[in-house]
């Protein structure tokens, strides 16, 4: 049996701000349970889902030295859906109303978290062969492991995997302060290790010190080795290329299932199998439109967006052509998201200008996300860059056709519609250009309106695609095997 500890700053069902939580909380369920005992450790945030807190049972406590600071750490434990989760408790660090806040606070919070995870190992009932870290928040863990704990026999055989979910967020802060927070040896703050343009860089630490690096799609694994996608670390990624693999994310088919989803009004299957009359997905669309003040017009293409509202997701393209889309078509939009003020304001503005065409919900809602995936005809993700993207896969599972920019995981999961061969699973454009996006949206609308047969066949193809974790979990298993057999 191989013991794997997944370390993450968020994981469903306890706390989620984006796709990292989906991955950390769903991937562990898909390993071969005879061979791999995969557990997850996350911070015990005060803002986590309150309903689940009573599940958590106190396991032990100890103190963590962060240079001259000595901080309390409690460990709680819970089992959810067959997976064991551990939680690091410290109310000084984790009492905020959201998991992430100012970077100068986060660098200390997550240095503490990484160290607390390592310190917890002799106290909990689990000795990992591999620690699998995720994103910059856990980037210092492999660094601590190989420096601070390097000569300790308890730790010396543990291997590390570091998964990059987003190269843009690196956890960069003043070197002197990071050295003071962490107590890491001064000599590692050099340009081959932790230093990056005069600052300390947590993501770089993870990339340099982990035994193996993964990212969440094959295309993104290529892109981060180039100046366009490397966010300044492309040279390092090239150097570490032999240890870098792109493993596509999956989605949890038991959670995203149109035939069983409890959040939607009418369950349905693919159009060729559904026996409901009228078709269940159409019922969901009508109800969604009615409930949200949109005209209940089944012939108006309803486009969904469920997203963090940041520039990564391509919202400036939408801002640029939204008037043109709404004035030259009868397309409707439903938007669910939260994030930067400028994009929240933009969607509010368009909603007030076109009240029966747009429904906008600024906030976080699992229920509404499922309703959008189920009720819409199309799903828009015109991302500037996208390491993997889960929204497009969730949409496809519900027969909602993705319209995406060909980048990262969007390129790997959406095959462009070919009207001559009647193939493909969605619509895509290459250049980050608002009119190119407008053009494919209009093209999608023309297929939706004038070629229902082709549209329905594409829905069937999308719903039959396998985006479950099965294939990717096998690839992680192979990576874990390679590492432990060395
Ligand atoms: P990212 O991780 O970059 O935010 P992904 O597409 O990988 O993008 O994952 C986003 C995840 O977060 C999906 O599960 C999506 O449904 C969910 N999500 C994003 N915004 C919201 C929101 N406002 N309410 C509910 N779920 C959301
Ligand atoms: C990041 C990326 C997203 C990816 C997710 C899970 O947040 O932006 O593309 O799907 O992580 O890996």
Q: Strand pairing of 130-134 and 83-89?
A: unpaired
User: Which atom of ligand 1 lies at the shortest distance from residue 22's CA?
Assistant: 14
- Backbone torsions φ then ψ of 442, nearest 5 degrees: -70, -35
Does residue 246 have its Cβ closer than 6 Å to ligand 2? no
Q: Which residues line ligand 1 (CB under 6 A)?
A: 18-19, 22, 306-308, 336-338, 364-366, 369, 388-391, 394
Question: What average pLDDT does the segment 405-411 reach?
Answer: 98
| Confidence at residue 316, expressed as pLDDT on a 0 to 100 scale | 97
Which residue puts its alpha carbon closest to atom 5 of ligand 2?
Answer: 19
Per-residue pLDDT tens over the stretch 163-178: 999 999 999 999 999 9
Mean local confidence (pLDDT), 61-70: 95
- For residue 276, pLDDT over 80 is answered with no
Q: Ligand 2 mean position to 215 CA, how many Å? A: 9
Average pLDDT on 119-138 reads 97
**Residue from 162, 143, 48 nearest 97 by CA:** 48
Establish whether residue 96 lines the binding site of ligand 2, counting it when its CB lies within 6 angstroms of any ligand atom.
Answer: no
- Pairing outcome for strands 159-164 and 212-215: parallel
Give the span between the Cα atoms of 128 and 329, in whole angstroms.
56
Give the dihedral of Cα atoms 391, 393, 396, 402; nearest 10 deg: 60
Does the beta carbon of 18 sit less than 6 angstroms from any atom of ligand 2?
Answer: yes
Percent of the chain with pLDDT over 70: 100
Give the pLDDT band of residue 261 (cuts 50, 70, 90). Answer: very high
Helix (H, G, I), strand (E, B) or coil at 348: helix
Ligand 2 closest atom vs CA 386: 9
Burial class (CB in 10 A: 0-12, 13-18, 19+), 362: middle
What pLDDT is attached to residue 370? 98
Q: What secondary structure does DSSP assign to 7-49, as a single string?
A: E-S-BTTTB-SSHHHHHHHHGGGGS-TTTEEEEEEEE--TTS-
- pLDDT > 90: percent of the chain: 97
For the CA of 361, the nearest atom of ligand 1: 23
Same fold, 2-250+470-485 and 281-466: yes
Give the pLDDT confidence score for residue 278 in this predicted structure. Answer: 80
Evaluate whether 48 touches 95 at the Cβ level (below 8 Å).
no
Atom of ligand 2 nearest to the CA of 165: 11
In 291-395, DSSP assigns E strands to: 302-309, 332-339, 358-362, 378-381
Q: What is the pLDDT of residue 320?
A: 97
Per-residue pLDDT at 275: 82
Phi, psi torsion values for 456, nearest 5 degrees = -65, -35
486 band by pLDDT with thresholds 50, 70 and 90:
low
Average pLDDT, the chain: 97
Task: Provide the CATH number for the domain formed by 281-466 in this structure.
Answer: 3.40.50.2000
Structure tokens at 475: 């690839």
Contacting residues for 308 by C-beta, under 8 A, at least 6 apart: 17, 18, 337, 338, 339
| Helix, strand, coil distribution of the chain in percent, nearest 5 | 40, 20, 40
H-run or E-run covering 69:
strand 69-80
Q: What's the CATH class of domain 2-250+470-485? A: alpha beta
pLDDT for position 274 = 83
245 in helix, strand or coil? Answer: strand
pTM (predicted TM-score): 0.97
Q: How far apart are CA 176 and CA 474, in angstroms?
A: 42
Find the mean pLDDT for residues 114-118. Answer: 98
Domain boundaries, the chain: 2-250+470-485, 281-466
Q: 203 by DSSP, 3-state: which? A: helix
Distance, in Å, from the CA atom of 444 to the CA atom of 424, rounded to the nearest integer, reads 12
Query: Which of 272-281, 305-314, 416-425 has the weakest average pLDDT?
Result: 272-281
Mean pLDDT, residues 64-86 taken together: 96
**Is the per-residue pLDDT at 387 higher than 70?**
yes
């Amino acid at each position: 049996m191989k013991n794997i500890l997944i370390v993450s700053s968020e994981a469903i069902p306890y706390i989620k701000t984006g796709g990292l939580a989906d991955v950390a909380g769903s991937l562990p369920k898909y390993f071969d349970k005879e061979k791999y005992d995969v557990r997850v450790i996350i911070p015990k945030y005060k803002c986590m889902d309150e309903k689940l807190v009573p599940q958590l049972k106190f396991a032990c406590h100890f103190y963590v030295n962060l240079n001259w600071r000595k901080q309390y750490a409690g460990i709680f434990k819970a089992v959810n859906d067959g997976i064991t989760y551990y939680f690091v408790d410290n109310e000084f660090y984790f009492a905020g109303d959201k998991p992430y806040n100012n970077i100068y606070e986060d660098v200390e919070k997550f240095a503490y978290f990484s160290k607390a995870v390592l310190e917890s190992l002799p106290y909990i009932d689990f000795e990992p062969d591999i620690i699998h870290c995720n994103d910059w928040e856990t980037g210092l863990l492999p660094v601590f492991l190989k420096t601070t704990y390097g000569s300790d026999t308890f730790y010396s055989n543990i291997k590390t995997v570091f998964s990059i979910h987003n190269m843009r967020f690196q956890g960069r802060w003043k070197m002197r302060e990071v050295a003071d927070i962490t107590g890491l040896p001064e000599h590692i703050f050099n340009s081959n290790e932790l230093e990056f343009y005069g600052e300390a860089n947590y993501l770089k630490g993870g990339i340099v010190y982990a035994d193996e690096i993964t990212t969440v799609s094959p295309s993104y694994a290529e892109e981060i080795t180039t100046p366009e996608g490397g966010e300044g670390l492309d040279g390092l990624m090239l150097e570490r290329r032999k240890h870098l693999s792109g493993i596509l994310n999956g989605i949890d088919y038991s959670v995203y299932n149109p035939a069983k989803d409890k959040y939607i009004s009418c369950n349905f299957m693919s159009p060729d199998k559904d026996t409901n009359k009228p078709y269940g997905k159409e019922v969901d669309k009508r109800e969604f439109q009615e409930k949200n003040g949109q005209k209940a017009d089944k012939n108006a293409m309803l486009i969904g967006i469920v997203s963090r509202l940041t520039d990564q997701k391509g919202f400036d393209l939408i801002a640029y052509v939204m008037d043109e889309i709404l004035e030259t078509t009868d397309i409707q939009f439903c938007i669910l998201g939260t994030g930067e003020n400028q994009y929240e304001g933009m969607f509010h503005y368009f909603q007030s200008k076109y009240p029966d065409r747009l429904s906008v919900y600024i906030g976080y809602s699992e229920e509404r996300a499922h309703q959008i995936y189920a009720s819409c005809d199309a799903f828009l993700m015109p991302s500037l860059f996208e390491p993997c993207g889960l929204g497009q896969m969730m949409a496809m599972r519900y027969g909602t056709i993705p319209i995406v920019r060909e980048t990262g995981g969007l390129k790997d999961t959406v095959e462009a519609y070919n009207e001559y061969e009647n193939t493909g699973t969605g619509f895509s454009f290459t250049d980050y250009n608002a009119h190119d996006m407008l053009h494919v949206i209009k093209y999608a609308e023309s297929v939706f309106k004038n070629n229902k047969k082709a549209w329905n066949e594409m829905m069937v193809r999308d719903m039959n695609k396998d985006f479950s974790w099965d294939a990717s979990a096998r690839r992680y298993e192979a990576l874990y095997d390679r590492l432990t057999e060395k």
